[in-house]
Amino acid sequence: MSRIFPRPNGSRRSHAGAQVRSRENSGTVLGLDGLELPVLDATVLNDLETELAQTDLARNFAVDYASMWEQRLDRLSAALGYQDRAAALDAAISLKVSSAMIGGLRLARLAETLEAAIRAGVLHDRERVMASVAETCRATVGELRFRYAGVDE
């Protein structure tokens, strides 16, 4: 199996790694941690409810999202650990899209940046990235559960 995240010339510098650590250059640059974005934008699910004209469908989507976050996280972690680029991309894209659909803006941005790092082959610090993703997943699901009582039923 070939390495999908090579370390060029032994360098520890990486686009994704630098972003995961901080917003180093300016206050307008979003880091991989997405601190400038809200964990959950409730208007996204409210808009989905309005578009579907059914509160239950949007709520059910939120319930499904909350119940599946650990599986998504495990799938992403395993793919990165095995350096399976296709599976890692699929997991990152799934996380990005589903998070955006429930209003998890910070997690969606994090997954988008992770997707770009996987595509570019520049993801070096898997443990740090996964810790950031896991923390943001927990925060997103926590907000869902707080704002939409019964989401974890």
Digit-coded pLDDT (tens) for 122-134 = 887 888 889 999 9
The answer on pLDDT for 34 being more than 70 is no
pLDDT tens, residue by residue, 4-19: 433 333 333 233 332 3
Whether residue 20 lies inside any domain: the answer is no
For position 116, what pLDDT does the model report?
93
Q: Which of 144, 91, 83 is nearest to 115 (CA)?
A: 91
Compute how many other C-beta atoms are within 10 angstroms of the C-beta atom of residue 39: 18
Task: Please count the structural domains in the chain.
Answer: 1
Whether residue 12 lies inside any domain: the answer is no
The answer to whether the beta carbons of residues 19 and 109 sit under 8 Å apart is no
User: Mean pLDDT score of the chain, rounded to an integer?
Assistant: 76
Residue-level length of the chain? 153
Model confidence, pTM: 0.74
Tokens of 36: 């400038």
CATH of the domain at 121: 1.20.120
Could you give the CA distance from residue 121 to residue 86 in angstroms, rounded to a whole number? 12
Q: Which domain holds residue 110?
A: 53-153
Whether residue 6 lies inside any domain: the answer is no
For position 48, what pLDDT does the model report?
86
Tokens of 92: 């990152």
Whether residue 14 lies inside any domain: the answer is no
Helix runs in the chain, H state only: 15-21, 42-52, 55-81, 85-102, 105-120, 126-147
For 13, 50, 63, 64, the CA distances from 153, given in Å and listed in that order, are 43, 23, 8, 10
